[in-house]
Amino acid sequence: MQPHVPRRTDRAGGVSAVALEEVRLAGRGGQGVVTAGELLGEAVLSSGRHAQSLPTFGPERRGALAQCTLRVSDQPILLKCSSARPSVVVCLDPTIWRYAPITLGVQEDAVVIVNTTQSPAKLEEALRSGRFLSELTLERFTVYTLDATGIAMEAIGRPISNTAMLGAVAAATDVIGLDDVETVLRARFGPAGEANVVAARSGFDAVGGGTI
Amino acid sequence: MSTRFWNGNMAAARAAQRARVQLVAAYPITPQTHTVEYLSQFVADGELDASMIKVESEHSALSACCGGSAVGARSFTASCSQGLQLMSEVMYFASGMRFPIVMAIANRTLSAPVNIWPDHQDTLVNRDSGWLQLYATNVQEIYDLTLLAFRVAEHVDISLPALVAYDGFILSHANEPVQEITQEQADALLPPPGVTERPILDPAAPVQFGEVLFPEWYPDYEYKKHMAVKDALAVIEEAFDEFAEATGRRYAPLEADGCEGAEVVLLGMGSMMQTARMAVDDLRAQGRRVGLLTMRSFRPFPEEALKAAMAGVDTLIVLDRDIGYGTAGMVYPDVTRTLYHADDRPRALNCVIGLGGKDITPQTILRCVEIAGEDHGDQTVFWPDARGPAEGIPWTGEVAPAGAGR
Q: Is the pLDDT reported for residue A47 higher than 80?
A: yes
Is the predicted pLDDT of residue B397 greater than 90, yes or no?
no
Do B138 and B271 belong to one domain?
no
* Residue B401 preceded by cis peptide, ω within 30: yes
Q: What is the pLDDT of residues B339-364, one digit of tens each?
A: 998 888 999 999 999 999 999 999 99
pLDDT of residue B341: 87
The answer to whether residues B115 and B140 belong to one domain is: yes
In a shared domain, residues B38 and B130 = yes
Q: Is the pLDDT of residue B163 over 50?
A: yes
Number of Cβ within a 10 Å radius of residue B184:
9
Cα–Cα–Cα angle for B21, B248, B153, rounded to 5 degrees: 30
A59 in reach of chain B (CB within 8 A): yes
User: Has residue A13 got a pLDDT over 90?
Assistant: no
Q: Considering only CA atoms, which of B326, B325, B299, B313 is closest in space to residue B266?
A: B313
Q: CB of A9 within 8 Å of any CB in chain B?
A: no
pLDDT score at A125: 96
Among residues B218, B247, B276, which one ends one of the domains?
B247
Q: Say whether both B280 and B148 belong to one domain.
A: no
Please give, rounded to a whole number of angstroms, the shortest distance from the CA of A104 to a CA of chain B: 13
Task: Kindly indicate the confidence band of residue A130, based on its pLDDT and cuts at 50, 70 and 90.
Answer: very high
Distance of residue B366 Cα from the nearest chain A Cα, in angstroms: 8
Residues B100 and B240 in one domain: yes
Numbers of helices and strands, H then E, in chain A:
7, 6
Same domain, B239 and B346: no
Judged by CB atoms closer than 8 Å, whether chains meet at A12 and B167 is answered as no
Contact between A153 and A160 under an 8 Å Cβ cutoff? The reply is no
Note whether B235 and B293 are same-domain residues: no
Quick one: average pLDDT of B71-91?
98
Mean pLDDT along residues A160-188? 95
Instruction: Say if residue B199 is in the same domain as residue B58.
Output: yes
The pLDDT, as a whole number, for residue B108 is: 98
* B275, B391, B392: residue with CB nearest A80: B275
Mean pLDDT within A25-35: 92
Confidence class of residue A60 from pLDDT cuts 50, 70 and 90? low
How far apart (Å, rounded) are the C-alpha atoms in residues B232 and B225? 11
Q: Does position B391 have pLDDT exceeding 70, yes or no? A: no
The region that residue A37 occupies, defined by phi over 0 for left and psi between -120 and 50 for alpha, beta otherwise, is alpha
Side chain identity, residue B49: D
For residue A61, pLDDT beyond 60: yes
Q: Is A77 an 8 Å CB contact of chain B?
A: yes
Facing residue for A38 by CB, picked from B5, B167, B169: B5
Give the pLDDT score at A18. 55
Give tens-digit pLDDT for B113-137.
Answer: 999 999 999 999 999 999 999 999 9
Banded model confidence at residue A98, pLDDT cuts 50, 70, 90: very high
Q: Rounded mean pLDDT of A19-26?
A: 94
Phi, psi dihedrals of residue B121, rounded to the nearest 5°: -60, -40
In a domain, B233, yes or no: yes
pLDDT at A11: 40
Q: How far is CA B310 from CA A65, B180, B259, B339, B369, in A?
A: 47, 35, 7, 9, 17
Q: Least CA distance to A80: which residue of chain B?
A: B275
Find the residue in A nearest to B167 (Cα). Answer: A80
pLDDT for A208 equals: 74
Q: What is the mean pLDDT of residues B156-177?
A: 97
| pLDDT tens, position by position, B173-209 | 999 999 999 999 999 999 999 999 999 999 999 999 9
Q: Residue A16 has what DSSP assignment?
A: B
Q: What is the mean pLDDT of residues B95-113?
A: 97
Q: Is residue B404 part of a domain?
A: no
In the predicted model, what is the mean pLDDT of residues A33-41? 95
d(CA A118, CA A120): 7
Decide if B175 and A77 are in contact by the 8 Å CB cutoff: no
CATH of the domain at B86: 3.40.50.970
pLDDT confidence of residue B343: 84
Higher local confidence (pLDDT), B403 or B254: B254
Whether A7 contacts A174, CB under 8 Å:
no
Question: In chain B, what residues touch A56 (CB-CB under 8 Å)?
Answer: 169
**Do B179 and B279 lie in a common domain?**
no
Residues of chain B with C-beta less than 8 angstroms from the C-beta of A57: 31, 116, 169, 173
Question: Has residue B323 got a pLDDT over 80?
Answer: yes
Task: Mutate one of B2, B3, B4, B5 to test the A interface: name it (highest A CB count within 10 A).
Answer: B5
With an 8 Å Cβ cutoff, are B279 and A80 in contact? no
> In 3-state terms, what secondary structure has residue B237?
helix
Q: Is residue B144 part of a domain?
A: yes
* Cα B104 from Cα B61, distance rounded (Å): 13
- B70, B136 Cβ separation under 8 angstroms: no
Lowest-pLDDT range, A13-27, A135-149, B215-229, B332-346? A13-27
Question: For chain B, how many structural domains are there in total?
Answer: 2
**Percentage, residues of chain A above pLDDT 90:** 77
User: Is residue B228 in a domain?
Assistant: yes
Supply the mean pLDDT for chain A.
88
Do the domain assignments include residue B308?
yes
CA distance linking residue A162 with residue A164, whole number of Å? 6
**Average pLDDT of the residues in B74-83:** 98
Closest CB to A15 among B272, B274, B363 = B363
- Contact A80/B173, CB-based, under 8 Å? no
Mutate to test the interface with B, among A10, A80, A184 (most CBs of B within 10 A): A80
- Together in a domain, B346 and B313: yes
Candidate from A17, A52, A56 with C-beta closest to B278: A17
Are B275 and B259 in the same domain?
Answer: yes
The secondary element (H helix, E strand) that includes residue B316 is: strand B315-320
C-alpha A28/C-alpha A95 separation (Å) is 10
As a whole number, mean pLDDT of residues A103-109 equals 93
pLDDT(A44) > 80: yes
Asked if the model's pLDDT at residue A209 lies above 60, the reply is no
- Whole-angstrom CA distances from B136 to A53, B269, B302 are 18, 8, 16
Give the confidence band of B158 by pLDDT, cuts at 50, 70, 90. very high
Q: Does a structural domain hold residue B406?
A: no
Sheet-wide strand order for B347-352: B254-257, B290-295, B264-268, B315-320, B347-352, B381-383, B396-397
Cβ-Cβ contacts under 8 Å, B361 against chain A: 11, 81, 83
Q: Is the pLDDT of residue A211 over 90?
A: no
- Between strands B347-352 and B396-397, the pairing is unpaired
Q: Which domains does chain A have, with CATH numbers?
A: 20-206 (3.40.920.10)
Res A192: pLDDT: 87
Cβ separation A14–B360 shorter than 8 A: no
Domain interval for residue B266: 254-397
Mean pLDDT of B290-299: 98
Mean of all residue pLDDT scores within chain B? 93
Q: Using a CB–CB cutoff of 8 Å, tell me whether A67 touches chain B.
A: no
Taking residues A52-60, report their average pLDDT.
80
Q: Does residue B403 belong to any structural domain of this protein? A: no
Say yes or no to pLDDT of B406 above 60: no
**For residue B74, with 0-12 CB atoms within 10 Å meaning exposed, 13-18 middle and 19 or more buried, which class applies?**
buried
Last residue of a domain, one of B190, B223, B247: B247
How much is the pLDDT for A160?
93
Per-residue pLDDT at B310: 95
Nearest 10 degrees: Cα torsion B372, B375, B377, B379? -40
Q: For residue A85, which residues of chain B lie inside 8 Å, CB to CB?
A: none
CATH number at residue B289: 3.40.50.920
Nearest Cα of chain B lies from the Cα of A16 at a distance, in angstroms, of 7
| Mean pLDDT on A4-21 | 49
Q: pLDDT at residue A181 above 80? A: yes
Quick one: B185 and B274 in the same domain? Answer: no
pLDDT in tens, B1-46: 689 999 999 999 999 999 999 999 999 999 999 999 999 999 999 9
Of B247, B262, B281, which residue is a domain's last? B247
> In chain A, which residue's Cα lies nearest the Cα of B361?
A81
